[in-house]
Amino acid sequence: MKASIAQYYPGDSIVHRLDARAKFVAVATLAVALFVRDSFAGLAVFASAGVVAYGLSGVPVAWFWRAFRPLLWLIGLTFLTQLLFAPGEPFFSWWIFDFSWEGLQFAAFLSLRLLVLVLIGSVLTLTTAPLALTDGLAWLGRPLRRLRVPTDELALMVTIALRFIPTLLVELDQIMRAQRARGAEFGSGGPIRRAKALVPVLTPLFVLSFRRADELALAMEARCYQPGIVRTRLHPLRAGMPDAVLLAVTAAIVVAGLLV
Partner 1 sequence: MSAASSDGRAVSSRSAPGIAAGMSVRCDGIGFSYAEAHTPIPALRSVTFELAAGRSLALLGPSGSGKSTLLQVIKGLDTPEAGTVALDGLRPDAPGYDAARREVGLVFQTPELQLFATSAREDVAFGPRRLGRPEEEVQAAVEEAMELVGLPPEVFGGRHPYALSGGEQRRLALAGVLAMRPRLLLLDEPFVSLDPATRRELVRILVRLRSGGVTLVLATHDVDLAWALCDDLLVLDGGRVVASGPWDAGEAGRALRAAGRLREPFLVELWRRLGRDAAAAPPRTAAEAAEALR
Partner 2 sequence: MKPLHDSTTPPGTPDDEGATGPRTAGAASGAASSAGAAAPVIDVRGLRFRYPGAETDALGGLDLSVESAEFVAVVGANGSGKSTLARLLGGLETPAGAMRAVACGHDLLTDDGRMAARREVGVLFQNPENQLVAECVEDDVAFGLENLAWAPERMRARVDEMLARFGLTGLRDREPHLLSGGQKQRTALAGVLAVPRRVLVLDEPTAMLDPAGRGEVLEAVAALRRDGLAVVFVTQEMDEVVGADRVVALERGAVVYAGDVPGLFEDVGLVRRLGLGLPAAGELALELAALGRPLEPLPLTLDALVAALGASG
The residue ranges that bind partner 2 (CB under 8 A) are 3-4, 10, 129-131, 159-160, 162-163, 166-167, 170, 211-212, 215-216, 218-226, 229-236
**Among partner 2, partner 1, none, residue 230 binds (CB under 5-8 Å by kind):** partner 2
H helical segments located in the chain = 14-17, 20-36, 40-57, 61-85, 101-127, 130-140, 151-181, 191-197, 199-222, 241-259
Q: Quick check: 183 binds partner 1 (CB under 8 A)?
A: yes
**Per-residue string for binding with partner 1, 222-251, x by CB under 8 A?**
------------------------------
| C-alpha 85, offset from chain centre | 28
Give min distance, CB of 199 to partner 2, in A: 24
Is residue 258 a contact partner of residue 33, using CB atoms and an 8 Å limit?
yes
Q: Quick check: 181 binds partner 1 (CB under 8 A)?
A: yes
Q: Quick check: 2 binds partner 1 (CB under 8 A)?
A: yes
Closest CB to partner 1 among residues 207, 260: 207
Give min distance, CB of 182 to partner 1, in A: 4
Give the CA distances from residue 138 to residues 50, 68, 141, 216, in Å, rounded to whole numbers and listed in that order: 25, 26, 5, 22
The DSSP annotation for 148-204 comes to: T--HHHHHHHHHHHHHHHHHHHHHHHHHHHHHHHTT---S-S-HHHHHHHTHHHHHH
Contacts of 132 by beta carbon, 8 Å cutoff, 6+ apart: 20, 235, 237
The only residue of 36, 41, 178, 248 in contact with partner 1, by rule CB under 8 A: 178
- Cβ neighbours of 23 (radius 10 Å): 25
Give min distance, CB of 147 to partner 2, in A: 20
Give min distance, CB of 239 to partner 1, in A: 33
**Among partner 2, partner 1, none, residue 241 binds (CB under 5-8 Å by kind):** none
Q: Quick check: 174 binds partner 1 (CB under 8 A)?
A: yes
Q: Quick check: 144 binds partner 1 (CB under 8 A)?
A: no
- Where b means 16+ CB within 10 Å and e means fewer, 170-187 reads ebbeebbeebeeeebeee
Residues making contact with partner 1 (CB under 8 A) = 1-2, 4, 66, 171, 174-175, 177-185, 199-201, 203-204, 207-208
